[in-house]
């Protein structure tokens, strides 16, 4: 149940982060892409207006009749108002001369009514975007009107040697549909990519979580086995101490090598120490020291090998080259390193007593006597 809650919260956290970041990224990309689209539209309309103006001017310079020029232009642009951009031509008084919609020919159109700057100050994509999104922009762009206007003049270019003006129109409805389609595509990509990222992230988290959970379970199992082994060894230690307490004085003298006392000295005095009072024996710098259960220390001229051979192996164990430990002196057995054991004594030893991995099995067998 805890794992399910963890995965649920992880999914919610990742989803929230991805969708928030993705939303703002999508909004920014929509605006940038829309501006680029409008910039292309503006440049295309400007180029078309200039080309028409130069074409008309060229025809007039070649002596073609003005009515013929008007007729040719009207034929070439008629019906183009359904496209995203188109051109028309009116005179300086604002009367439409040529228009894709023939019904508007002869009607007066005042360029100041259109939502563009003056003829010498061109509109840019930011202004155009503000016009489409009903936002006020600096520099004279007014709010998009509520009246039914299908197009707006975005560029004006005069025809040389005439009183005519070529106007580049933007089909607002057409452009808005294209922008809405662009937004829809971005939204679709945003939702699909966000959902994919969230799903892949969740699968990755679950995979990594399962991997580390399995690893942790194996470590816990191994640790549990080691704890059980340590518990068994400490139990064996307790049982061995109990057995020794019960059997004190019952053992015969079958083995003449085993001693009940060891001869030691302290300074210039010789002293006989009972074997059952010894906690541990250690050697350091060729000096052998016998430490008793009451904490008293005595010196011996014998080596550890000599002493160990004269001690009862039921009560004493050769832990390493420097220590012989008594079962009565062992306070606790701890896990140490890689399958090694650390022996805590009472009274404590100045140096740590470590039983190597190779000798650990022998120590366990000794406790299980």
Task: State pLDDT tens for residues 139-190.
Answer: 443 444 444 557 778 888 898 888 898 988 888 888 888 888 888 888 888 8
Q: How confident is the model at residue 324 (pLDDT cuts 50, 70, 90)?
A: very high
What SS3 class is residue 156? strand
Q: Which of 37, 159, 140, 38 is nearest to 88 (CA)?
A: 159
- The stretch 29-49 carries a mean pLDDT of 85
Determine which helix (DSSP H) or strand (DSSP E) holds 43, and give its type and residue range: helix 2-61
Instruction: Give the CA distances from residue 184 to residues 8, 38, 193, 334, in Å, rounded to whole numbers and listed in that order.
Output: 30, 17, 14, 67
Higher pLDDT, 138 or 171: 171
Candidates 2.40.50.40, 3.30.420.40, 2.60.40.420, 3.40.50.720; correct CATH number of 261-367? 2.40.50.40
Q: What pLDDT shows up at residue 244? A: 67
Q: What pLDDT shows up at residue 117? A: 45
CA distance 329 to 353: 12
Q: What pLDDT shows up at residue 253? A: 47
Digit-coded pLDDT (tens) for 56-71: 999 888 888 889 988 9
Percent of the chain with pLDDT over 70: 83
323 pLDDT more than 60: yes
CB 128 within 8 A of CB 38: yes
User: Per-residue DSSP letters for 262-303?
Assistant: EEEEETTEEEEEEGGGEEEEEEETTEEEEEETTS-EEEESS-
Asked, colleague to colleague, whether 2-192 and 261-367 share their fold, the answer is no
pTM of the predicted model, to two decimals?
Answer: 0.46
Q: Which of 95, 144, 88, 78 is nearest to 116 (CA)?
A: 144
First to last CA, the chain: 47
- Two tokens at 230? 């340590």
CA distance 339 to 233: 14
The domain segmentation of the chain, as residue ranges, is: 2-192, 261-367
- The C-alpha angle 317, 259, 352, rounded to 5 degrees, equals 30
Q: How confident is the model at residue 93 (pLDDT cuts 50, 70, 90)?
A: confident
Residue 249 backbone dihedrals phi, psi, to 5 degrees = 85, -10
Beta sheet of 151-158, edge-to-edge order: 96-98, 85-91, 164-171, 151-158
User: Per-residue DSSP letters for 319-366?
Assistant: -SSSEEEEGGGEEEEEEETTTEEEEEESSPPSS-EEE-HHHHHHHHHH
Higher pLDDT, 144 or 207: 207
Q: What pLDDT shows up at residue 128? A: 64
What one-character DSSP code corresponds to residue 140? Answer: S
CA distance 234 to 241: 11
Q: How confident is the model at residue 290 (pLDDT cuts 50, 70, 90)?
A: very high
The residues facing 46 across adjacent strands are none
Q: What pLDDT shows up at residue 248? A: 53
Q: What pLDDT shows up at residue 106? A: 87
Q: What pLDDT shows up at residue 277? A: 92
94 pLDDT more than 90: no
Q: What pLDDT shows up at residue 115? A: 46
Q: How confident is the model at residue 138 (pLDDT cuts 50, 70, 90)?
A: very low
CA distance 342 to 326: 14
Q: Which residue bears the tokens 């190597």?
A: 356
CA distance 59 to 364: 114
360 pLDDT more than 50: yes
Q: How confident is the model at residue 325 (pLDDT cuts 50, 70, 90)?
A: very high
What is the overall mean pLDDT for the chain? 80
Digit-coded pLDDT (tens) for 222-259: 777 777 777 777 777 777 777 666 665 554 444 446 88
CA distance 354 to 205: 42
CA distance 12 to 27: 22
Determine which helix (DSSP H) or strand (DSSP E) holds 98, and give its type and residue range: strand 96-98
Q: What pLDDT shows up at residue 121? A: 52
- Two tokens at 49? 């207006």
Q: What pLDDT shows up at residue 225? A: 75
CA distance 118 to 226: 89
Look up the CATH architecture of domain 2-192: 2-Layer Sandwich (3.30)
Min mean pLDDT across 44-53, 121-130, 295-304, 316-325 is at: 121-130
Q: What pLDDT shows up at residue 258? A: 81
326 pLDDT more than 80: yes
Q: How confident is the model at residue 291 (pLDDT cuts 50, 70, 90)?
A: very high
Q: What pLDDT shows up at residue 269? A: 80
- The C-alpha angle 152, 159, 129, rounded to 5 degrees, equals 25
């Amino acid at each position: 149940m805890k794992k399910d809650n963890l995965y649920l919260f992880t999914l919610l956290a990742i989803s929230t982060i991805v969708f928030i970041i993705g939303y703002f990224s999508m909004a920014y990309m929509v605006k940038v892409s829309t501006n680029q689209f409008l910039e292309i539209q503006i440049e295309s309309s400007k180029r078309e207006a200039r080309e028409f103006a130069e074409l008309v001017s060229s025809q007039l310079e070649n002596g073609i009749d003005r009515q013929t020029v008007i007729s040719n232009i009207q034929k070439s642009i008629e019906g183009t108002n359904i496209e995203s951009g188109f051109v028309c031509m009116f005179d300086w008084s604002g009367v439409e001369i040529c228009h894709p919609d023939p019904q508007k020919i002869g009607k007066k159109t005042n360029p100041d009514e259109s939502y563009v700057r003056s003829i010498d100050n061109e509109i840019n994509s930011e202004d155009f975007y503000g016009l489409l999104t009903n936002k006020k922009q600096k520099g004279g762009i007014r709010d998009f009107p509520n009246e039914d206007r299908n197009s707006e003049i975005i560029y004006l270019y005069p025809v040389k040697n005439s009183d005519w003006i070529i106007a580049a129109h933007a089909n607002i409805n057409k452009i808005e549909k294209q922008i809405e389609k662009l937004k829809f595509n971005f939204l679709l990509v945003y939702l699909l990519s966000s959902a994919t990222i969230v799903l892949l992230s969740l699968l990755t988290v679950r995979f990594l979580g399962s991997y580390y959970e399995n690893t942790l379970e194996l470590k816990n199992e191994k640790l549990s086995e080691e704890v059980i082994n340590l518990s068994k060894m400490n139990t064996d230690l307790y049982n061995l101490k109990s057995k020794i307490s019960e059997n004190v004085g019952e053992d015969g003298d079958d083995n003449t090598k085993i001693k009940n006392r060891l001869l030691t000295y302290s300074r210039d005095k010789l002293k006989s120490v009972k074997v059952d009072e010894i906690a541990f024996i250690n050697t350091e710098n060729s000096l052998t020291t016998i430490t008793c259960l009451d904490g008293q220390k005595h010196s011996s001229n014998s080596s550890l090998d000599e002493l160990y051979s004269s001690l009862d192996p039921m009560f004493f164990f050769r832990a390493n080259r420097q220590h012989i430990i008594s079962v009565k002196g062992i306070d606790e057995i701890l896990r140490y390193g890689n399958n090694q054991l650390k022996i805590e004594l009472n009274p404590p030893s100045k140096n740590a007593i470590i039983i190597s991995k190779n000798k650990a099995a022998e120590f366990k067998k000794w406790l299980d006597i």
